[in-house]
Chain A
Amino acid sequence: MSRPPSSPTFKENAAAALADPALQGALHFVETNFPARRRAAVEALPEFDALRDSARAIKDHTLAHLDLYLEAFEQKVIENGGHVHFAPTAADANRIVVEICRAKNARLVTKGKSMVGEEIGLNAHLEAAGIRPVETDLGEYIVQIRDELPSHIIMPAVHLNKAQVADDFRRVHTDLPRDRDLSEPTALLAEARATLREKYFEADVGITGANFLVAETGTAVIVTNEGNGDLTATLPKVHVVITSIEKLVPTLEDLSQLLRVLARSATAQEMSVYTTLFTGPRRSDDPDGPEEFHVVLLDNGRSAMLAGAFHDMLRCIRCGACLNHCPVYHAVGGHAYGWVYPGPMGAVLTPALIGVDQAGHLPNASSFCGRCEEVCPVKIPLPRLMRTWRERAFSRHISPKTERAGLGLWAFFAKRPKLYRLAFGLGMRLLARLGRTRGRFSWLPLASGWTAHRDLAAPQGATFQAQWRKARRNA
């Protein structure tokens, strides 16, 4: 891994994010923009929920037969003149890609957007091998020149405003006039387009990710809006697809089901602008396209998830809807999560990939409002999976001592219902009396974790259980 995760300091990251006015302004766009647009796109398609069930069933079926679909996929890629490489770990995947580039004496590679590429830290490994990677997706290009991770899985630069991007372009594009007007996004895009256009032609190798792999045909599918992925895959002599084993679907019909839920969930489009199916290298009479086609299939902990509690997470199609609907993501943004995958999907996936000891805070960064599961196109029970991580962190004694002591104390009472009712009844009455005048507490012993940030409302006297019994008697 080229970049150590900052997930262990999630709390500090979050505090810094909350105090960053530029970031808060950028995040406000996500909260106000996406949920309404997605809802409109979903409501325009009466079959959307049936398609979600269909998409979930396809992914579950494929995962249950993953070994066999992988065999079929591999065979078809080879039949079509391509190469398949298996990478058990991130290090293996990096080594394979570097070797492919070295065999071609590659100095420059263009890259389409790939979260698997981010996961394995591919750019740093290419650079270490003396190969210059150039990201071509606008958002990825921006985070690359800033030496940052993407802060969102489909909108990498969503944490930035146009003035920040203009500053970065002035810093990096030094051959252009200093006084040029970069005040509007159109000017920034035009500059990136012109800069990157040359790179597509200069590059020796083009590297893209894949949204889906089709076993029936040996096809890698990419879904984009800009067209950069297609230029990256078409103009250089070699096309490398860096992807992971859970991206498989059986057939073109299955692909159709998933495409219908992906674009609507991700960007509220009926269909993304470019959905491209790549099968093998250029054919003998083709006038364009790459001469070599490689698919690198990464495992990196995914096969270990097949058996366990986090199996459902392997259905994820990386649409980003759970990020767009998450109140925690809206508040702190993607970088606070400290690694490649942020938001609810990241809170479940990151501990599985880098360990719960590193990423144990992430499953706690949830209000359990459940919107992530409601909007998930493949119905992953994200809140339940986050709860499972919390249980694991507790049972492995990873969570802080005070938290564990508090939970232990609560568990002592919870297992003794009579004592629980007595103790909590007394406690509530005491707190009600103490808080009678102000109606709230700004400080309480053992509760500073709460009262440091906001007041605690004083109880009204009776416990929930007491009120519940009373209501049942009266009913």
Chain B
Amino acid sequence: MSAREQVFSAIRRGLGVTGDEAPRRKIVADRLADHPTGVVPSRGKLEGDERIGLFLRMIERAAGTAMRLAGPDELPGAVLDYLKRAGLPPALRRGEDAYLAGVPWNRTPDLVITIGPSDGHDLVAISHAVAGIAETGTLMLTSGSENPTTLNFLPDHHLVVVEADTVVGDLEAAFARLREREGAEHGMPRSVDLITGPSRSADIEQTLILGAHGPRRLHVIVIGDPRKLRASPAARKRRAKAAAAAAETSPPVAR
């Protein structure tokens, strides 16, 4: 008997099943297809500005720093300002992300930008998050040439851009965005990083120190006009109706 068969038969012996029972197979297939939602804390159930406010507060509670900008045009100036204040040289690494590529970096000609994964020699990197999660102040980043994973862990300072309309209330909503984004043909990326604050350790005398093996500082920049986010009750109702209609007509999300 192969090791695999040995493990499976031991489990089935323990459970008193054969593995062929149709009702059990259906229960599992349904659970995987429907992925029902469990208990979602009410904390994140906020809209617009209030949701972003919670997101920023939770980032700061996790020892990160955060700021808001009205549009991507303001980003180069804000980044240069951050570097100056931290006493860092005007250099930055990023991936091939389209949003970051579209930022008018030429407004700050002093800023040296390199593109691609990090080899460990960069002090500062900037990434573009797939989503922000207000509930816990968490960023969701995915691997790929757009935003290489090494940028999340090797530089001392990690700047992360979050578009305001991608800030969601809770973890479940972020996973829903991930499913939408990845689609059936792609599946999951190699890594999905959920990041809440800068790296830390309390392994020596339970003294909390920032900057263990990853970034010493995490700076989150939420970009988007806050006025556009404050949805009116009428708009909210319209959106809900449209979503309900879409749910009725479209096939279940394939994975």
- A 27-39 binary contact with B (CB < 8 Å = 1; else 0): 0011001000000
Residue A462 at the chain B interface, CB threshold 8 Å: no
Determine if B204 and A138 form an interchain contact, defined as CB atoms under 8 angstroms apart.
yes
Residue B194 at the chain A interface, CB threshold 8 Å: yes
* Least CB distance, B242 to chain A, in whole angstroms: 23
> Which residues of B sit under 8 angstroms from A60, Cβ to Cβ?
none
> Which residues of A sit under 8 angstroms from B187, Cβ to Cβ?
76, 79-80, 217, 279
Residue B31 at the chain A interface, CB threshold 8 Å: yes
Residue A270 at the chain B interface, CB threshold 8 Å: yes
- A 288-318 binary contact with B (CB < 8 Å = 1; else 0): 1100000001010001111100000000000
* Least CB distance, B196 to chain A, in whole angstroms: 4
Determine if B172 and A155 form an interchain contact, defined as CB atoms under 8 angstroms apart.
no
Determine if A216 and B32 form an interchain contact, defined as CB atoms under 8 angstroms apart.
yes
Which one of B15, B58, B138 lies within 8 Å of A306 (CB-CB)?
B15
Residue A11 at the chain B interface, CB threshold 8 Å: no
Determine if A303 and B24 form an interchain contact, defined as CB atoms under 8 angstroms apart.
no
Determine if A289 and B28 form an interchain contact, defined as CB atoms under 8 angstroms apart.
no
In the complex the two chains form, what is the Cα distance from A234 to B36 in whole Å?
A: 31
CB closest residue in chain A, given B27: A65
- B 1-31 binary contact with A (CB < 8 Å = 1; else 0): 0111011101111111101000011011001
- B 183-227 binary contact with A (CB < 8 Å = 1; else 0): 000011111111111111111111101011111000000000000
Determine if A136 and B117 form an interchain contact, defined as CB atoms under 8 angstroms apart.
no
Known: A86-B4, A270-B196. A253 touches B37 (CB 8 A): yes
Which one of B38, B149, B195, B211 lies within 8 Å of A253 (CB-CB)?
B38
Determine if B13 and A67 form an interchain contact, defined as CB atoms under 8 angstroms apart.
no
CB closest residue in chain B, given A311: B14
Residue B238 at the chain A interface, CB threshold 8 Å: no
Residue B169 at the chain A interface, CB threshold 8 Å: no
A: interface residue count bin: 35 or more
Residue B249 at the chain A interface, CB threshold 8 Å: no
B: interface residue count bin: 35 or more
Determine if B193 and A230 form an interchain contact, defined as CB atoms under 8 angstroms apart.
yes
Determine if A65 and B24 form an interchain contact, defined as CB atoms under 8 angstroms apart.
yes
Determine if B35 and A216 form an interchain contact, defined as CB atoms under 8 angstroms apart.
yes
In the complex the two chains form, what is the Cα distance from A161 to B209 in whole Å?
A: 15
Known: A234-B149, A251-B31. A280 touches B190 (CB 8 A): yes
Determine if A189 and B191 form an interchain contact, defined as CB atoms under 8 angstroms apart.
no
Residue A188 at the chain B interface, CB threshold 8 Å: yes
Determine if B190 and A304 form an interchain contact, defined as CB atoms under 8 angstroms apart.
no
Known: A87-B3, A253-B37. A66 touches B11 (CB 8 A): yes
Known: A250-B31, A303-B10. A54 touches B195 (CB 8 A): no
Determine if A230 and B188 form an interchain contact, defined as CB atoms under 8 angstroms apart.
no
Determine if B144 and A283 form an interchain contact, defined as CB atoms under 8 angstroms apart.
yes
In the complex the two chains form, what is the Cα distance from A81 to B14 in whole Å?
A: 31
Residue A46 at the chain B interface, CB threshold 8 Å: yes
Stretch of A220-228, A351-359, A410-418 on the interface side: A220-228
Residue A165 at the chain B interface, CB threshold 8 Å: yes
Determine if B10 and A271 form an interchain contact, defined as CB atoms under 8 angstroms apart.
no
Chain A contacts with B in 68-101, Cβ cutoff 8 A: 68-70, 72, 76, 79-80, 85-88, 92
Known: A65-B28, A231-B214, A289-B191. A161 touches B171 (CB 8 A): no
Residue B42 at the chain A interface, CB threshold 8 Å: yes
> Which residues of B sit under 8 angstroms from A76, Cβ to Cβ?
187
In the complex the two chains form, what is the Cα distance from A215 to B201 in whole Å?
A: 30
Residue B62 at the chain A interface, CB threshold 8 Å: yes
Known contacts A253-B38, A254-B38; 13 additional CB pairs below 8 A are: A47-B40, A65-B24, A68-B25, A80-B187, A88-B10, A142-B204, A217-B187, A226-B213, A251-B36, A256-B171, A287-B148, A303-B13, A307-B16
